[in-house]
Structure 1
């Protein structure tokens, strides 16, 4: 991948974070379609990971920067037997699965599960995942894509929950310089919003890195 001059590329990290944040925030605010929204399903289990495409204009730039169809994700945890998505949007919170799915483009989503979930996701492991949510719930969205817990973005949330609760790293961390920074829409947003004050070597986990992880298998597509 071509190396980008520091004064142009440094802005891309904050750009990508903000695009994800704004895309998720706008998606969260949109009303669910009455007819086409995906319905909640009884087949999903604790620990499943769900992906969808935000319906915001900013989602296009996110997709181009990361090379992914999907621009938002979360982890499924059951509450009173009903599936909820623990996600990072304006703040980290639980959202009913049906409501979460309806925010995505066409109500479409893909659910994935650990390949060895039957042995790894024991009741104790699920309890640790649940306990780990308390470290993040209510935290604001990370507009600067920093690898800290003060603010959290969507894929960072799920990655850290699994890594800390189970010691499982789903997807390889990257540096922002590894993303596609040459797209005109991405470059325009960089110049518009962020200047040159973002570290290009900051660790980043993207939705597509987790989606493509060989540790996961697809269990549902809607």
Structure 2
């Protein structure tokens, strides 16, 4: 991808009434799966048909910290039912969840917005990268980087993400406001805080029974307005 970094005003997603909404065919089973998970707060391991014994349980991946930077975008292809619902949108959808990488003296972290999963907390969370990537949750992990990102911009992204910790998950998948987040929205807004627009309305899909259009995690790659580099794959 050879496009130039797009740097715009922070409010890249105005009122939904003014949006040019992208369309994507989404079957009823997918819609119902998404709404079941998020409206009832059911965690993937609690859903009917989820695996009771996982041969990948508690296997961890290792990452070279020297190759990673604040603000890198971490994609995850999940193994649970919710992930399969997201992935069932089509063959071009490869990742089902996304977060932001942060580095600190005590290791590598991912800040991401996640729904209720059993006793696991929901909302905007800070989780160790090794736990975010544990093999019973992740079939695959990929790290992408926005090219030509300055250190100042990285710090804006970092501060914004940290300031959202503890905010609730948005089961309505709305792009307006910053009181609640879903995973893709958190990444988009963090970059907007640095004056960078990751995607436009071509990344949106309209899901039945949801008022606002939704931006799936993998559309940050597929519809990126900026140049991204693939840093790591596990």
Residue 77 (1) aligns with residue 102 (2)? yes
What SS is found at the alignment partner of 2:88?
A: helix
Pick the aligned partner of 1:133 from 152, 156, 161: 161
Equivalent position of 1:88 in the other structure: 113
Distance 1:152-1:21 versus aligned 2 partners, 3 A rule:
farther
Give 1:104 deviation, angstroms: 3.3
Equivalent position of 2:16 in the other structure: none
CA distance in 1, matches of 2:106, 2:138: 26
Structure 1: which 5+ residue stretches go unaligned?
Answer: 182-195
Distance 1:113-1:175 versus aligned 2 partners, 3 A rule:
closer
| Runs of 4+ residues over 6 Å off in structure 1 | 20-24
Structure 2: which 5+ residue stretches go unaligned?
Answer: 1-22, 46-51, 115-121
Residue 216 (1) aligns with residue 228 (2)? yes
Distance 1:19-1:113 versus aligned 2 partners, 3 A rule:
farther
What SS is found at the alignment partner of 1:53?
A: strand
CA distance in 2, matches of 1:15, 1:127: 37
CA distance in 2, matches of 1:210, 1:22: 27
CA distance in 1, matches of 2:146, 2:24: 34
Residue 115 (1) aligns with residue 147 (2)? yes
Q: Please list the CA deviations of residues 96-122 of structure 1 after superposition, one character each: whole Å capped at 9, or x if unmatched.
A: 11111115333x200000122xxx221
Q: Would you say how many aligned residue pairs link Structure 1 and Structure 2?
A: 189
| TM-score, normalising length: structure 1 | 0.71
| TM-score, normalising length: structure 2 | 0.67
Distance 1:60-1:53 versus aligned 2 partners, 3 A rule:
same
Equivalent residues in 2 for 1:72-221, closer than 5 Å = 72-80=97-105, 82-89=107-114, 90-102=122-134, 103-106=136-139, 108-116=140-148, 120-122=149-151, 124-147=152-175, 148-164=177-193, 166-173=194-201, 174-177=203-206, 196=209, 198-199=210-211, 202-212=212-222, 213=224, 214-221=226-233
Equivalent position of 1:44 in the other structure: 68
Q: Give the aligned CA root-mean-square deviation in angstroms.
A: 3.4
Give 1:25 deviation, angstroms: 5.0
